[in-house]
Amino acid sequence: MTTKLSNAQIAWRAAQDLPDGAYVNLGIGFPEMIAKFKPKGREVIYHTENGVLDFGEAPPAGQEDWDLINAGKKAITLNDGASFFHHADSFAMVRGGHLDVAVLGAYEISENGDLANWSTGPGSVPAVGGAMDLVHGAKQVWVVTDHVTKKGAPKLLKQCRLPLTGVACVTTVYTSLAVVDIRDGCFVLREKLPGMSLDELQALTEADLSVEGTVKDLVVPEV
Amino acid sequence: MNKISPSIDDALAGIEDGMAVMIGGFGGAGAPIELIHALVDIYKKTGSPGSLTVINNNAGNGAVGIAAMIYAGMVAKMVCSFPRSSDPKAFTDKYLAGEIGLELVPQGTLAERIRAGGAGIPAFYTPSSFGTDVAEGKPVAEFEGRSYVQERWLKADVALIKAELADRKGNLTYRKAARNFSPLMAMAAKTTIVQASRIVEPGEIDPEHIVTPGIFVNRVVEVANPQQEEAMLREGAN
């Protein structure tokens, strides 16, 4: 029995919710994996902060053009219909409400939708990139994350303790144990692993999980 | 009208100590390596221009480009969104030693501040950073029930830009995602200095395709087959 989902499985689950025809920004790293699991037959157009819309997969090794990269500085290719634009237009797409979905990683998420994902506090070089912009403007802001930290502490909190990326911005959290929507300042449990009781899941979640109607089983294939 | 400079050194003339310098590029894409390295050489020979404020999305990678400026000791402060890279040692060591300043700006805010600087808009409101440490001390206002943070324009004395095509009137095109901040920076600097991979006759660039109109450009120098920062790093440049 699955005890928790791998990152690839979390990405797979999030990918199932990508709407057909959506404009989507996938954050650097873990969220980028979602593209691989997009259900067949749905057309999704990917945006990257550094000024490309409708990019495709990475090119084969040796065929990279380093003037054609994504926000993670990785080489990309273009789909037919792709476009280039400068940074102000790129962030107009972000803040102006033109993106349907933005997906980010997280250190912490609070029950009112606050996100902390850019700074682990003093002592390191702070770097924020586009995260503080991406959390505002997209119609849905998803987070993909392990349900708990490496030390086993909850990441779904009453209040974030780390420096915030944005206030009341997250709409759905896809974790290694559950799918949780954020509505009216509450974590609303949509799906959980079938092998886990609600009490067990709650014990790994600092804030209250509320239930509206039935909680579906979170069933993900091996990927 | 002829904005073409006979050499890189001519194009870079007049950059002084303490100036604010916008440098195009996002990671290695769009970094005007030849302009930057020539400026580093000038600094090493003459001790000037130093104490520069450099505005770029990043803060250098490896030991080339902006990292070379930092290693040379000519940068007093970086204004950027993401001072990390695959090899951020040049900036990180000086930052942790307190030898270089940092103004951290969310990426979209950085772009819009530069755009505003070039467009004559002294301030604007953005949802980005509301409720975060980055917004501390900045005015906040509510519009249609949501809170927004006031940000101010960002201008510079000089912009260093890499373009693909240019003509003597300063009209520019860019190459793929190497465009990024460059069209904004070209607007926001008093003196915009461009290295172009090819200079063509006016009229050869279709007016429908010009990305930066020449009014935003002061000097153009041709650098055929320019270095690409990411490619240099991957080939082991240091």
* Partners of residue A69 in chain B, C-beta under 8 Å: 26-29, 177, 230
Considering only the beta carbons, identify the residue of B29, B112, B130 that sits closest to A66.
Answer: B29
Total structural domains in chain A? Answer: 1
Q: What is the pLDDT of residue B238?
A: 60
Regarding an ipTM greater than 0.90, the answer is: yes
- Establish if B124 touches chain A: CB-CB under 8 angstroms: no
* Partners of residue A73 in chain B, C-beta under 8 Å: 27-28, 85-86, 230
Are the Cβ atoms of B108 and A49 closer than 8 angstroms? yes
Q: Which residues of A are catalytically annotated? A: 49
Regions of chain B where pLDDT drops below 50 = none
Judge if pTM exceeds 0.90.
yes
| Nearest alpha carbon to residue B32 among B73, B71, B65, B7 | B65
The alpha-carbon gap from A138 to the nearest alpha carbon of chain B, in Å, equals 12
CATH code of the region B17-129+140-231: 3.40.1080.10
In order, the DSSP letters of A80-122 are EEEEE--HHHHHHHHHTT--SEEEE--SEEETT--EE-S---T
Are the Cβ atoms of A86 and B108 closer than 8 angstroms? no
Flag whether A118 is in a domain.
yes
Q: What is the pLDDT of residue B236?
A: 86
Between residues 47 and 106 of chain A, which touch chain B (CB distance below 8 Å)?
A: 48-52, 65-69, 71, 73, 84-88, 90-91, 94-95
Are the Cβ atoms of B106 and A128 closer than 8 angstroms? yes
Flag whether A198 is in a domain.
yes
Flag whether A27 is in a domain.
yes
Are the Cβ atoms of B132 and A164 closer than 8 angstroms? yes
E strand residue ranges, B121-155 = 123-126, 140-143, 146-152
Strands A186-192 and B123-126: unpaired
Q: What is the pLDDT of residue B163?
A: 98
Considering only the beta carbons, identify the residue of A136, A163, A167 that sits closest to B133.
Answer: A163
* Domain boundaries along the sequence of chain B: 17-129+140-231
E strand residue ranges, B144-188 = 146-152, 156-167
We report the CATH number of the domain holding residue A134 as 3.40.1080.10
Are the Cβ atoms of B84 and A127 closer than 8 angstroms? yes
| Mutation site for A-interface testing, chosen from B180, B197, B210, B229 by largest number of A Cβ within 10 Å | B180
* Partners of residue B126 in chain A, C-beta under 8 Å: 95, 133
The alpha-carbon gap from A129 to the nearest alpha carbon of chain B, in Å, equals 5
| Nearest alpha carbon to residue A45 among A19, A27, A70, A12 | A19
Residue A77 belongs to domain spanning: 7-217
The alpha-carbon gap from A110 to the nearest alpha carbon of chain B, in Å, equals 14
Instruction: Walk along chain A (223 residues) and give the pLDDT tens digit of each residue.
Output: 558 999 999 999 999 999 999 999 999 999 999 999 999 999 999 999 999 999 999 999 999 999 999 999 999 999 999 999 999 999 999 999 999 999 999 999 999 999 999 998 887 899 999 999 999 989 999 999 999 999 999 999 999 999 999 999 999 999 999 999 999 999 999 999 999 999 999 999 999 999 999 999 999 999 9
| Nearest alpha carbon to residue B223 among B181, B169, B178, B161 | B161
Rounded to whole angstroms, what are the CA distances from A142 to A145, A149, B115, B130, B185?
Answer: 10, 18, 29, 19, 32
The alpha-carbon gap from B139 to the nearest alpha carbon of chain A, in Å, equals 17
Are the Cβ atoms of A66 and B106 closer than 8 angstroms? no
Q: What is the pLDDT of residues B218-231, one digit of tens each?
A: 999 999 999 999 99
* Partners of residue A115 in chain B, C-beta under 8 Å: none
